[in-house]
Structure 1
Amino acid sequence: MSFPEADSPSASTPGLAHGWTHGPSSLDASILEKTSVRSGHRSGYHVHVLVVGDNSRQLAGPLTRDLTQSFPNLCFDRIESAKDLALFFEGLDEEDHVLLGVATSEVKDVDALIDAARASSLMASTQWMLVTDQELHTDLAACTESGHLAAVVRFPWTVPLLSGQAYSTMRRYLEECGYCTYEILDLIQEPPSFAVQGPILEGLDLNEDQVVHELLEGVERVLGPRPRIRLPRGTHLLTQGHRVEAVHLVLEGTVSLHRDSRHGEVLAHLATSGPLIGLISLARGENAFFTALTTSEATVVRLTTEQLQIALTEDPSISTVLTALAIRSLTRRLMRAEDLHVENAMLAEDLERQKEELAATLEDLRATRAELVERARFAMLGELSAGIAHELNNPVTALLRAAGHLREDAEAVMASRAPEACRSALDCAMDSPPLSTARERELQKELLPILHDRSVIRQLIRAGLTDTAHARALANDPAQLEAFQAGARLGGSLRSVLASGERIISLTQSLKGYARPDADDLKEVDVRRGIDDVLRLTSHRVHGIEVVCEYEDVPPILAHPAKLQQVWTNLIVNAAEAIEDEEADLKAQGQESAASEKMLPARGHAEARITITVANSGDGVEVCVCDNGPGISPQVLERIMEPHFTTKAGRVRFGLGMGMSIVHSIIADLGGQLTIDSHPGSTIMRILLPLHHVHEEES
Structure 2
Amino acid sequence: MVICGAGVKHEPLCEMLTGIKAYGDPLTLVIRDLSEDHDPQQLAKITNIAGLNGLLLKPYTAGAFISQVQRLVEQYRSTPQLLERYTQHHQDWLQQKVEAKVSKMRAGFFDYTSMTDAELVDKVSQELFKFFQDNDENHLCRTYSKGHLLTQEGAENDFLWFISSGEVVLKRSDEEQELEVARMGTGSLVGGMSFVTGERAFTSGETTCNTEVIKLDRKTFARVMETSSSLLALFTNLLLRNFNRRLQKSILTKLQLQRTINSLDQAYEQLFEKEKMAVLGQLIAGVAHELNNPVAAILRGSETISEHIPDLVRNSLPQSEQQLGLDILQSAMKISPLSTRDIRSRAREAQQYYPNNLMARKAVLMGLDSKEAFKAHFTSSDSDTKLDALEKYHQVGTFLRNISVCSHRIADLVKSLKHYSGQDPEQQVESDINEGLAETVMILDNRLKHFNVDCRYGELPSLACYPIALQQVWTNLIANALDAMEEGGNISISSQFFDVSPSYINVVIEDNGPGIPDTIKDKIFELNYTTKREGNFGLGIGLTICQQIVTQHQGQITVVSEPGNFTRFTVSLPVNHQRG
TM-score by length of 2: 0.60
For residues 26-56 of structure 1, the C-alpha deviation after alignment (integer angstroms, 9 at most, x for no partner) is xxxxxxxxxxxxxxxxxxxxxxxxxxx9993
For residues 603-648 of structure 1, the C-alpha deviation after alignment (integer angstroms, 9 at most, x for no partner) is xxxx511111111023122111111111122332222222222223
For residues 552-582 of structure 1, the C-alpha deviation after alignment (integer angstroms, 9 at most, x for no partner) is 11011122222121111111000100114xx
Counterpart for residue 19 of structure 2? 56
- Over 3 Å counting, the alpha-carbon distance change for 1:438 and 1:527 in structure 2 is same
- Over 3 Å counting, the alpha-carbon distance change for 1:440 and 1:135 in structure 2 is same
Larger mean CA deviation between 685-694 and 396-405 belongs to 685-694
Matched, 1:377 2:276: yes
Q: What SS does structure 2 have at the residue aligned with 1:621?
A: strand
- Over 3 Å counting, the alpha-carbon distance change for 1:662 and 1:486 in structure 2 is same
**Larger helix proportion, structure 1 or 2?**
2
CA distance in 2, matches of 1:55, 1:503: 118
Counterpart for residue 363 of structure 2? 460
1:431 aligned residue (323, 328, 334): 334
The amino acid that maps onto 2:298 is L
1:689 aligned residue (564, 568, 573): 573
Q: What SS does structure 2 have at the residue aligned with 1:642?
A: coil
| Matching of residues 516-531 of structure 1 within 5 Å | 516-531=422-437
CA contact (8 A) 2:511 2:566 kept: yes
The amino acid that maps onto 1:374 is E
Counterpart for residue 531 of structure 2? 647
- Over 3 Å counting, the alpha-carbon distance change for 1:530 and 1:147 in structure 2 is closer
Shift of 1:455: 3.6
1:140 aligned residue (92, 95, 101): 101
How many residue pairs are counted as aligned between the two chains? 402
Counterpart for residue 295 of structure 2? 396
- Over 3 Å counting, the alpha-carbon distance change for 1:269 and 1:525 in structure 2 is same
Counterpart for residue 497 of structure 2? 616
- Over 3 Å counting, the alpha-carbon distance change for 1:488 and 1:21 in structure 2 is farther
Shift of 1:394: 0.7
1:533 aligned residue (412, 425, 439): 439
- Over 3 Å counting, the alpha-carbon distance change for 1:206 and 1:528 in structure 2 is closer
Q: What SS does structure 2 have at the residue aligned with 1:555?
A: coil
CA distance in 1, matches of 2:418, 2:150: 71
Larger mean CA deviation between 618-627 and 139-148 belongs to 139-148
| Matching of residues 208-219 of structure 1 within 5 Å | none
> Structure 2 regions of 5+ residues with no counterpart?
1-6, 23-90, 110-125, 141-147, 162-199, 201-214, 224-234
2:476 aligned residue (570, 580, 585): 570
- Over 3 Å counting, the alpha-carbon distance change for 1:329 and 1:361 in structure 2 is closer
CA distance in 1, matches of 2:302, 2:12: 130
Larger mean CA deviation between 512-521 and 465-474 belongs to 465-474
Matched, 1:675 2:578: no
For residues 475-511 of structure 1, the C-alpha deviation after alignment (integer angstroms, 9 at most, x for no partner) is 5344543442221121112112112111111111111
Shift of 1:204: 5.4
Counterpart for residue 211 of structure 2? none
The amino acid that maps onto 1:371 is Q
CA contact (8 A) 1:421 1:487 kept: no
Counterpart for residue 636 of structure 1? 520
- Over 3 Å counting, the alpha-carbon distance change for 1:640 and 1:489 in structure 2 is same
CA distance in 1, matches of 2:17, 2:364: 137
Shift of 1:403: 0.7
Runs of 4+ in 1 over 4 A off after TM superposition: 19-25, 254-258, 269-272, 327-330, 332-335, 341-353
Matched, 1:266 2:155: yes
Matched, 1:206 2:122: no
CA distance in 1, matches of 2:461, 2:149: 68
CA distance in 1, matches of 2:424, 2:416: 14
- Over 3 Å counting, the alpha-carbon distance change for 1:436 and 1:482 in structure 2 is closer
CA distance in 1, matches of 2:300, 2:271: 43
CA distance in 2, matches of 1:351, 1:675: 40
The amino acid that maps onto 1:651 is E
Shift of 1:667: 1.3
CA distance in 1, matches of 2:334, 2:308: 18
1:661 aligned residue (536, 539, 544): 544
- Over 3 Å counting, the alpha-carbon distance change for 1:544 and 1:133 in structure 2 is closer
Shift of 1:23: 6.3
1:560 aligned residue (462, 466, 472): 466
Q: What SS does structure 2 have at the residue aligned with 1:685?
A: strand
| Matching of residues 13-92 of structure 1 within 5 Å | 56-57=19-20
CA contact (8 A) 1:677 1:683 kept: yes
| Matching of residues 184-199 of structure 1 within 5 Å | none
CA distance in 1, matches of 2:468, 2:10: 101
- Over 3 Å counting, the alpha-carbon distance change for 1:413 and 1:693 in structure 2 is farther
CA distance in 2, matches of 1:513, 1:485: 41
- Identity across aligned pairs (percent)? 28
Shift of 1:448: 2.7
- Over 3 Å counting, the alpha-carbon distance change for 1:466 and 1:654 in structure 2 is same
- Over 3 Å counting, the alpha-carbon distance change for 1:271 and 1:564 in structure 2 is closer
- Over 3 Å counting, the alpha-carbon distance change for 1:636 and 1:492 in structure 2 is same
CA distance in 1, matches of 2:20, 2:222: 44
Shift of 1:547: 1.1
> Structure 1 regions of 5+ residues with no counterpart?
1-18, 26-52, 60-131, 149-175, 181-197, 210-253, 259-263, 273-289, 291-326, 584-606
CA contact (8 A) 1:613 1:623 kept: yes
- Over 3 Å counting, the alpha-carbon distance change for 1:329 and 1:535 in structure 2 is closer
Matched, 1:421 2:301: no
CA distance in 1, matches of 2:289, 2:137: 96
The amino acid that maps onto 1:428 is S
Shift of 1:368: 2.2
2:410 aligned residue (483, 504, 527): 504
- Over 3 Å counting, the alpha-carbon distance change for 1:424 and 1:635 in structure 2 is same
- Over 3 Å counting, the alpha-carbon distance change for 1:643 and 1:329 in structure 2 is closer
| Matching of residues 326-405 of structure 1 within 5 Å | 331=219, 353-405=252-304
Higher relative contact order (CA 8 A, sep 6+): 2
CA contact (8 A) 2:151 2:157 kept: yes
| Matching of residues 437-476 of structure 1 within 5 Å | 437-471=340-374, 473-474=377-378, 476=380
CA distance in 2, matches of 1:571, 1:453: 53
CA distance in 2, matches of 1:521, 1:462: 54
CA distance in 2, matches of 1:627, 1:429: 39
CA distance in 2, matches of 1:332, 1:141: 22
CA contact (8 A) 2:348 2:360 kept: no
2:451 aligned residue (536, 542, 545): 545
